[in-house]
A and B are shown apart, each in its own frame.
Chain A
Amino acid sequence: MIINGVEIRDNFAEAFPMVGTRLIVTADTPEWALTAGRTTTGFATSVIGCGCEAGIERMLAPEETPDGRPGVSLLIFAMDFGSLKKVVPLRLGQCVLTCPTTACYAGVEGGKRVPLAKTIRYFADGHQISKKIGDKRFWRLPVMEGEFVCDEDTGSVEGVGGGNFLILARSRAAALHAAEAAVAAMGKVEGVILPFPGGVVRSGSKVGSKYKGLFASTNDAYCPTLRGAVPSALPPEVASVLEIVIDGFSFEAVSEATKVGVAAVCAVGAEGGVVAVDAGNYGGNLGPFHFKLREIMKDSTGGEP
């Protein structure tokens, strides 16, 4: 399949189950909400080293938030519910509670409950104020700047982690330009995050390593500088490869994000230096979710068999 001169390789992305939650963080200004969002989701690129994968889902207008102030919605994913219960209060306590003017609310209603103020409230040393009306309880914690308002807990969902595609380009600049276009387009899809820096990964990995104790190592088949030295998956004209990794609340959300992202890459096209779009998998042994590129893109305009 070729779209706008870009080959969509007959490959699939392989993803695995993760447990995720959504937080709504508000602040007096969009800038401070974004600061809280970026800090909370910082150092959360890969569960392999960070314990969770997190990102900003989107900015929220005042009318979309529980307190009528601007905000961000954040998604946080972990490999199991126990880990999620551990990482969310940690990040909340370190990055939202401390950030000026913020408040934090539940972004998911159903599922197992992830504690928010349920644990953080003790920071107020007995001065915490609980308010429960109907089924929902929230807490007010006096802090130096005013009050930190936070829902007691949030729900969780069984999500999908590790959806991905690879951009194979003639130059680093072309690969980056296409990746940026993909990230911008994918930012509009609800229920997904791109947890890596700026949404883009330069260090795509393969499973295992020659060194004992390492779970993952550089994806040498897609390293242009190793072409010839190892079995390479790269055509000769490819000089740079970037990966977009997608975590989502559902298979459909990740699939939609893949479609939107690959379409944006294809819009840059062969003229923009993009050669092909590929995907990372490990022979189907890593996870049960397979995102087949050609199947996902078959409805896109401009596709040729």
Chain B
Amino acid sequence: MSGVSLKPRAPLEARVDLSGITPAVICPLTLRELEHLPVPHGGRSVPLAELFFIEGAPEGVLLIEIGDARLDGVGAGMSEGELIVDGRVGAWAGRGMAGGVLRIAGDAGDFLGAEMSGGRIELAGHAGARAGAAGSGSRRGLSGGVLKIGGTAGPRAAERQRGGLIVIAGDAGDGLATDMIAGTVSVGGAIGPLAGRGMKRGTILAQARPELPAGFVDTGVHELVALRLLARRVPELKDMLGGWTHARRIVGDTLMGGQGEVLMPG
């Protein structure tokens, strides 16, 4: 089978964990093998065919028709191919993703793209808490790839992020980029309080000055060539940075010895 389409047979009665159900894993399987693939559903494990109608799809594509807020771990562990969800998803979508493309037409739950290291997630709707963050007890959040959120992001997005790019078109919740290690997060809307607390390195691109913790130091407005470079080299930042030549640079969190920065139009 070249591509797979999954269509829920009925509204889900319990949470379903689709971690590991990636294009690379299931596209090479036969229809019979797919039907019997065990999937955690609530407290038990059920065959995939009990939850979904399984049909063919274009080469390398896994299509989930009619998403559901109870579908957890969609695209988790993905390394190649394309996974499209025509609706919303639950928690942990794209967790630990290393490659490929995950497109979600609706909203996503908590921990979207948590600890991802490569590939690309495009979310059309809103994300829950801790998008691109580290998992509970983990030290490193998103470290590579691109996480693009069309709507708003909940609290603690980019927490402990250590690389890659997170683009939030709408607002970001409280504690954006808390303990950020490196990487870039761009926010098109408003930013909630206490952004960047404990930030070591990395960059927050903001449209307006957010409320920052005490450890941030305003270094003034500067002409930064890097802004022009990012605007031309990174398509995702073109709209945000188009026309920026100067930026106000606020450095922190100096109370933690950090050298991260918040950049906003000067």
Contact = CB atoms under 8 A, between A and B. Distances in A.
B164 A67 contact: no
B233 interface: yes
A69 B228 contact: yes
Interface in A116-140: 127, 129-134, 136, 138, 140
Contacts of B163: 132
A30 interface: no
A158 interface: no
Interface stretch (B31-39, B78-86, B188-196, B217-225): B217-225
Contact of B225 (A130, A134, A147): A147
Interface in B109-146: 146
Contact of A133 (B201, B234, B259): B234
B223 A149 contact: no
B180 interface: no
A146 B233 contact: no
12 contacts: A66-B232, A67-B228, A67-B232, A103-B229, A127-B259, A129-B201, A129-B261, A130-B201, A134-B234, A138-B226, A138-B229, A140-B224
A103 B223 CA distance: 13
A149 B229 contact: yes
Contact of B184 (A66, A103, A131, A149): A131
A146 B184 contact: no
A68 interface: yes
Nearest to A63: B232
Contacts of A26: 225
B172 to A, nearest CB: 19
Give the interface size bracket for A toward B. 10 to 19
Contact of B228 (A68, A130, A134): A68
B232 A149 contact: no
A190 B224 CA distance: 31
B4 interface: no
B156 to A, nearest CB: 22
Contacts of B232: 66-68
A122 to B, nearest CB: 15
Given A127-B259, A129-B201, A67 B182 contact: no
Nearest to B228: A67
B249 to A, nearest CB: 10
Contacts of B226: 131, 138, 140, 147, 149
Contacts of B164: 133
The 3 lowest CB-CB distance pairs between A and B, nearest first, are A67-B228, A67-B229, A149-B225
B25 interface: no
Contacts of B228: 67-69
A67 B225 contact: yes
B147 interface: no
Contacts of A69: 225, 228
Interface in B213-266: 222-226, 228-234, 259, 261
B165 interface: yes
B203 interface: yes
A266 B120 CA distance: 57
Given A67-B228, A69-B228, A130-B182, A146 B234 contact: no
Interface in A69-109: 69, 103
Contacts of B259: 127, 129
Interface in A21-64: 26
Interface string A149-192: 10000000000000000000000000000000000000000000
A140 B247 CA distance: 15
Interface in A207-240: none
B236 to A, nearest CB: 8
A72 to B, nearest CB: 16
Nearest to B237: A133
Given A132-B163, A133-B165, A133-B184, A66 B233 contact: yes
Nearest to A65: B232
A173 B1 CA distance: 76
Given A66-B233, A67-B232, A68-B232, A131 B203 contact: yes
Contacts of A132: 163
